[in-house]
Amino acid sequence: MSDNHHSQPQPKIKEVGFVVNENKAGAVQLASEMHGALERQGVSVRECHDSEIDHCFGRGDRLDLIFSFGGDGTILRTARVAAPLGIPIVGINLGKVGFLTELVAEQAVASLPRFVAGDYWIEQRLMLQGELIRGGKTINTFHAFNDIVANRGSLSRVVECILSVDGAVLTTYVADGIIFATPTGSTAYCLAAGGPIVTPDSRAITVIPIAPYLALVRSLVLPEQAILELQITKATDALITVDGQQDIQMQIGDTMRVQASPITALMARIQPRNYFAATLVDRLRLRG
């Protein structure tokens, strides 16, 4: 059994958080139904709307779980708040594919007694830490659940950059961008760009260029100990995009350092431990 699966029973839950994406059909209604069901079982609920998540939960809240009502985008936003607090996430899919979600809406209410009783397991997911370095100083630090992408921004020019691994120059890319992905993110933008699928319990960082010109190195899978540095040598309007949701401006001469984050995302699961292999092909079909 993998080290990043906790096998012991979990404590019975007493207080949970809800993150509700009001833009997803049925999310508000389902959250209301589950709120009532949990309170009838003695569990208190703190509800937060998706757009307010950065200000909803803190270290003093002592939440046992956070339920995310939406799609994968909602989980990505939830993870960046829940992971630093060490709170496991239960994703309820009200989107299309739901690669990250645990339950479909029709299962959610019926599954609650298992979570209340502590009959679930915890899966640990690697996150990435990125730093933007300018003039030798770190001016921004950020964390990603899926991926960190250095890309060309809104203009049509390519990004020219140098990739170093553990201090050694590996290659130069001329491309539309470079993706640094977690195993979780390997089924997202990374896959669309031709990257490999990496199982979620792996501890690896995948690097793949987007539409590279004459690149000898098309994709890399590196151990979690690797420290990656990407220096921009020629670009205008270059951007760092974090999980497809947060943009940070880059300048010529900037370096982006990427490595495994000290923060781990926790997912609460009641599916069998082989769920990823068992459902992968079906979920990939949904993407089409």
Catalytic sites, residue numbers = 72
Q: Which residues pair with 171 in a beta bridge?
A: 163
Nearest to 33 by CA among 24, 45, 50, 48: 45
Record the tokens describing residue 167, joined without a space.
Answer: 């201090």
Q: Cite the DSSP H helix spans in the chain.
A: 27-40, 72-85, 105-116, 189-192, 275-287
Nearest to 206 by CA among 233, 226, 229, 183: 183
Record the tokens describing residue 281, joined without a space.
Answer: 């092909």
DSSP 50: G
- What distances in angstroms separate CA 72 from CA 100, 166, 176, 224, 269, one per listed residue? 6, 32, 24, 24, 16
Pair 118, 12: CB distance under 8 Å: yes
Listing DSSP states for 136-191 in one string gives TEEEEEEEESSEEEEE-TTSSPPEEEEEEETTEEEEEEEESEEEEE-TGGGGTHHH
Pair 102, 115: CB distance under 8 Å: no
Helix/strand/coil percentages in the chain, nearest 5: 25, 40, 35
Pair 254, 232: CB distance under 8 Å: yes
